Chain A
Amino acid sequence: MIRSLSRWFSTLGVVAAMTLPAVAATQLTGAGSTFDYPFFSKAFYIYSQQNPDVTVNYQSIGSGGGIQQFTAKTIDFGATDVPMNASELARAGQPVLQLPVTLGGAAIAYNLPGVTKPLRLTRQAVVDIYLGKITKWNDPAIAKSNPGVSLPDMPIVVVHRSDGSGTTYIFTDFLSHVSPEWKSKVGTGKSVSWPAPSAVGAKGNEGVAGQVRSTPGAIGYVELAYVIENHIPAATLQNRAGRWVPVSPETVAAAAAGRPDVNASNFSIVDEPGANAWPISGYSWVVVYKKPSDANRAKLLYNVLTWLVGPQGQSNAKSVDYVPLPGNVQATALSTLKQMQH
């Protein structure tokens, strides 16, 4: 009995020794977008290695939850794939700053047995496939863009994300920009009512990619990082400039670099006119209060975010296959952040 008790206490001692340094560091908490999570966990880990007095605890509970927690003031910052809109800002009750923090793009994955060359699609073809107007792979609208490729006479199975997601938002934003019909019939959102009769919903990037991979004739949009890491064949799109561009961190960054004045009320960068711009791109955002109540925490948060949207923080994006903010957008984000009381 006594021996087991003493063992107990020595364990307690070890636990206390392990947790004591962590108690000394200030913990900042953030919550929101699941898209940001791989990038944040890498970047914040590096940051607390360099600054042992701060740790950042980020919970990827989804953008909606992030905004709720942020509005309820239970966290220091929120992260969301779509900036807070006017009514959400009103509910927050005090001025909010929103800064772009990382870039994302949606790739078009497909499964066409026997087709080895990267598939080429016009923007209108993507719209018509998702509207259910193009239903076969050998449709002239697709065949015309792929000379010399024998496309199978196979029905197209349209796959989309079933869970609400920022990737769906960017993709439907793209479709709405290209097609007035899509805009009026379906619209833009994190979850929409998909019109194609063959549409199938799959959960998460892994669900969509898995569904596409196991269904011959399937097409689906998947987040860029996931496509790179898993070597999934992705279509080349004709962008607004008329050029055929593959999806890659470079073409997504090119779309962003064309719009350095991006801000929370004018944030869409889909279908940009740049020659090298990937048309299905978008930002993810961090939201903070302009005047946080706790001056000490505000100072620390300001430092973390300055580092995160600056060159040092952004340099961590590449290693997790995220797209770093172009230099001119970093400058925009930093000047927004400067307004924060710190």
Chain B
Amino acid sequence: MDNLEPRFRRVARFVSPVDRGFAAIVYAGSILFALLIIGLFVELVLGSWPSIAAFKFSFIWKSEWDPVSNKFGALPMIYGTVVSSFIAIALASFVGIMAAVYLSDFAPRWLANPLSFLIELLAAVPSVVYGLWGLFVLAPFVRTGLGPVLQHVLGWTPLFAGPIYGVGLLTGGIILSLMIVPTVTAISRDILVAIPRDLREASMAVGTTKWEMAMRVVLPAARVGIFGACVLALGRALGETIAVTMVIGNRPQISASLFAPSYTLASVIANEFTEATTSLYISALIELGLILFFVSMIVNGVARLMIWSVRGSDRTA
């Protein structure tokens, strides 16, 4: 009710039984989600308890993952998950937002609708298809085309040094970026379209070009919403499993090079859960799930803080 003017608030209070019933349904709906999250968290903690008891905090900063001798550490997977997702969001946000600007302000209508339909269709492609495409098309391309070029230009930085296997952190990040681009574009476009016409007309009236209008007026007005779209996309990237598993190289190591094979939290679980037999091993895998839960929470939390700070600066401006 906070978004109503004070004089309406009294009227909007729940008065009739129908209103009360509706309120109950709405509350129940939101409480259900809270309970689901709490239940998930409790289950994860219970399931990973043997591993938490055995390794304490060393689970988070140890790099060894050896099921044969029951030594488990999650650091390489945390690193792989976070870095591959950030590569993905860096690529996807730039391309995705530019596509959204084109669709909302530049594309003729006969082109804009089919084009946004096509982009949204990308979201419907099953992730295993992305994975297979990544393995058979993208990975060889990275090994023979993109990789050598990057290494030639930027090989002096540790980021692009070392042997190029085709599969690795960079390939995983590129696959992820393709998968989350539809989310960024579709939501950003909707937000851009919803920016009032007056703003655009006012901008044109003071003599800006269309380009200046889009970049200096429309995009800044929509930045909070677009940032939210990126956060949503990042959440998907963090948890994506099969496609990444197929192209990231599945090697629990931390390497400065983006060409090196890496591993993500979700991939380890997908790879090893079905054949894990000892209880400590299973519990360590569940603890990876718990860590993924925390990583997502922290990333979302930081994103929230950033949104708030953007809003805050809007208000003071």
Contact = CB atoms under 8 A, between A and B. Distances in A.
A63 B277 contact: yes
Contacts of B272: 163-164, 191
B143 interface: yes
A310 to B, nearest CB: 29
Contacts, number: 103
A24 B165 CA distance: 56
B50 interface: no
B275 A164 contact: yes
Given A157-B165, A214-B135, A201 B68 contact: no
A7 B272 CA distance: 48
A233 interface: no
A155 B163 contact: yes
Interface in B60-87: 64-69
Interface in B127-143: 135-136, 139-140, 143
A203 B276 contact: no
Interface string B222-259: 00000000000000000000000110011110000000
A186 B68 contact: yes
8 contacts: A63-B274, A88-B277, A163-B271, A163-B274, A192-B66, A202-B135, A202-B167, A215-B166
A201 B261 contact: yes
Contacts of A186: 68
B167 to A, nearest CB: 6
Nearest to B282: A64
Given A64-B276, A65-B274, A203 B245 contact: yes
A211 interface: yes
Q: Chain B CB within 10 Å — which of A162, A163, A164 has the most?
A: A162
A190 interface: yes
A232 to B, nearest CB: 15
A187 interface: yes
A165 B282 CA distance: 15
A214 B274 contact: no
Contacts of B245: 162, 203
A260 B233 CA distance: 57
Given A162-B245, A203-B250, A193 B68 contact: yes
A202 B275 contact: no
A34 B275 CA distance: 10
B275 A210 contact: no
B68 A188 contact: yes
Contact of B271 (A88, A189, A200, A203): A203
B276 A164 contact: yes
A215 B277 contact: no
A67 interface: yes
Q: Chain A CB within 10 Å — which of B139, B250, B273 has the most?
A: B250
Given A188-B68, A214-B136, A162 B163 contact: no
B246 A200 contact: no
B165 A64 contact: no
Contact of B277 (A67, A155, A163): A67
Interface string B263-292: 100010011111111000010000000000
B66 A193 contact: yes
A163 B143 contact: no
A100 interface: no
Interface in A88-117: 88
Contact of B249 (A64, A190, A201): A201
A215 B259 CA distance: 14
Given A162-B267, A210-B136, 11 more contacts: A67-B277, A162-B271, A163-B271, A164-B275, A186-B68, A190-B275, A198-B163, A201-B249, A202-B135, A203-B270, A211-B139
Contacts of B143: 214-215
Contact of A191 (B267, B271, B282): B271
Contact of B64 (A67, A193, A207): A193
A64 B261 contact: no
A207 B248 CA distance: 12
A64 B277 contact: yes
Contacts of A214: 135-136, 139-140, 143, 166
A62 interface: yes
Given A199-B251, A200-B250, A214-B135, A193 B277 contact: no
Nearest to A189: B68
Given A191-B272, A200-B167, A203-B246, A211 B135 contact: yes
Contacts of B64: 193
Interface string B142-177: 010000000000000000000101110000000000
A149 interface: no
A202 B251 CA distance: 10
A192 B263 CA distance: 14
A61 interface: yes
Contact of B246 (A191, A192, A207): A207
Contacts of B275: 62-64, 163-166, 190-191
Contact of A201 (B67, B135, B251): B251
Nearest to A164: B275
Contacts of A190: 67, 275
Interface string A160-183: 001111100000000000000000
B89 to A, nearest CB: 24
Contacts of B166: 214-215
Given A62-B274, A163-B274, A191-B275, A210 B135 contact: yes
